[in-house]
């Protein structure tokens, strides 16, 4: 995931391994040459425009989630 400005600050402050999140944005593929000379790499990333904390896998709790009709699931 790639985030910028205030969204990046919030991600750094709030996200940790094992947290479940909903991320909205678009896919972006970029290319670069591998440092070891093994060829061109094409990583695909999510460029985030917003995210929502859903829960935590380790304890199964879901913090104050609200029902929303705009979620794709």
Distances (CA, A) of 61 to 20, 30, 53: 10, 36, 11
How many domains, in total, are found in the chain? 1
Domain assignment of residue 12, given as a range: 5-56
Tokens of 67: 């029902």
- Whether 9 is covered by a domain: the verdict is yes
- Whether 73 is covered by a domain: the verdict is no
- Whether 28 is covered by a domain: the verdict is yes
- Whether 32 is covered by a domain: the verdict is yes
pLDDT digits (tens, 9 = 90+) for 35-49: 998 999 999 999 999
- Whether 40 is covered by a domain: the verdict is yes
Q: How do the pLDDT tens digits run along the chain, 73 residues long?
A: 888 888 889 888 888 888 888 989 999 999 999 999 899 999 999 999 998 888 765 555 555 544 445 655 5
Residue 65 pLDDT: 47
- Whether 27 is covered by a domain: the verdict is yes
């Amino acid at each position: 995931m790639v985030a910028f400005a205030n969204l990046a600050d919030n991600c750094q402050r709030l996200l940790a391994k094992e947290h479940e999140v909903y991320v909205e944005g678009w896919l972006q593929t970029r290319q670069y040459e591998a440092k070891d000379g093994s060829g061109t790499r094409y990583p695909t990333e999510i460029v985030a425009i917003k995210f929502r904390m859903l829960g935590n896998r380790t304890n199964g709790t879901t913090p104050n989630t609200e029902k929303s009709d705009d979620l794709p699931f």
